[in-house]
Every structure is written in structure tokens, then in C-alpha cells.
Amino acid sequence: MSQKLVNAIADMREKEALELVRGMIAAGTEPAEILNAARKAMEVVGQRYEKGTYFLPELIMAGEILSQISEIVKSRMTQAQEIKRHGKVLIGTVQGDIHDIGKNIVTFMLDVNGFEVLDLGVNVPAEKFTQAIQDFQPQVVGLSGFLTLVYDAMKEVVEATKKAGVRDKVKIMIGGGQVNDEVRKYTGADAYGKDAMEAVRLAQGWIGG
């Protein structure tokens, strides 16, 4: 079932992919398994893009299919359980970058795992993060970025929190694309997470819950 879903997404068969997701949910499949299949499909899409068999329209289409899948999964999950909130996480894709599929999955997983999440969207300048830290008062800030070009923008956010005097009030985690521990050191963030579950574990470690 999961492999069928991976193929349907990777081959851009939107209607079939969404029907498969609905069927899997009805059959009681774990949301994590569905999201994992979606992630695998995005890897295939990325490889095809790198090989030159897919182009930007396919990337956009894949993004739209994935957003719809996460909407379906999310609506079923929130129906099924009353969520207790443990703490606040502020998240956004840093300035210069418009990739948001990975961030949206992280937001979704934090949300269903009991965190109140404020998502600032994409292409978010450093000042917008610091302003939101003051207004929303999160314990954790998540910075997403898929372009290697935007590591400087991540570093700028960390620097801006120091200038605004709020660096010691928040833990900062980064993730997306090729982000690794070297990037974390470069940016001055507290941790990096390779996927959405890691983001949840980090937030749980810092906030509890």
C-alpha cells in the first residue's frame, strides 16, 4: 500500500494518490507511515529533477500533492484526539528560501504532538522572527531552509536574537535539505533535526511533553 502511494505521488497521479491516502486512513494506517511514503516519493521526485527528467512544474505539482495529503492526514488526526498543549514553537522558512513542504510537515508533527505552533511562512526576515519571539513568547524556534545559500540567513536570525536580547529565552533548532551539524555550528543554533520526528524529540527534550 505504501509503495503504491510512493509511486502515485512520484508519477504525479494526484487523484490516485489522494484516494490511496483516504483508503489508508480508513483502514487505520498510522499517519507516520503515510507521511513517510510521501517523504520517500519526494526523494524520487528530487532525483528525477536532478537527472533532468522532471522540471520545476513537477516540483510544484509534487509540493501541492504533499500539502493536500498532509491536510487530509491532519484533519483525521485532530478529529481523533483532543490535543493537550505542552509549550510553544515558532517556525518559519528563512529569508531567501520558499521551500515549505518540509517545514509544513514539521509544523504538522509538532502540532499533533501537543505543541502550539506559530508558522511565519516562507522567506521570513530575521526581524520578523525576533518580533514574533517577543509577541508569541515561544520556548523553541525552528528555522527551515533547503537552499545552501540560506545558511547565512539562518545565522542572521540567531545573531538577531542576540541583538534583541532574547537569545537566552529560546532554544533554536534548524533543519531542511542538507542541514547538518557543521551548518548548526556555523549558524550558532542549538541543534539540528534531520526530520520532523527529530524536531518533535528536540522540542520535547527542551520543553517536556
Q: 116 with 89: CB under 8 angstroms?
A: yes
Cβ proximity to ligand B12: between 83 and 149 the closer is: 149
| Rg (the chain; Cα; Å) | 17
Residues that bind ligand B12 (CB under 6 A): 39, 42-43, 45-46, 49-50, 56, 59-60, 62-63, 96-103, 105-106, 142-144, 146-149, 173-178, 193, 195-196, 198-199
CB of 25 to ligand B12, least distance (A): 19
Question: Which C-beta is closer to ligand B12: that of 26 or that of 203?
Answer: 203
- How many other CB atoms are found less than 10 A from the CB of residue 3? 10
Nearer to ligand B12, 31 or 193 (CB): 193
Cell 534583541 belongs to residue = 164
Q: Nearest distance from residue 149's CB to ligand B12, in Å?
A: 6
Cell matching residue 82: 483532543
Output the smallest distance, CB 190 to ligand B12, in A: 11
Unique residue bearing C-alpha cell 510544484: 60
142: cell is: 525552528
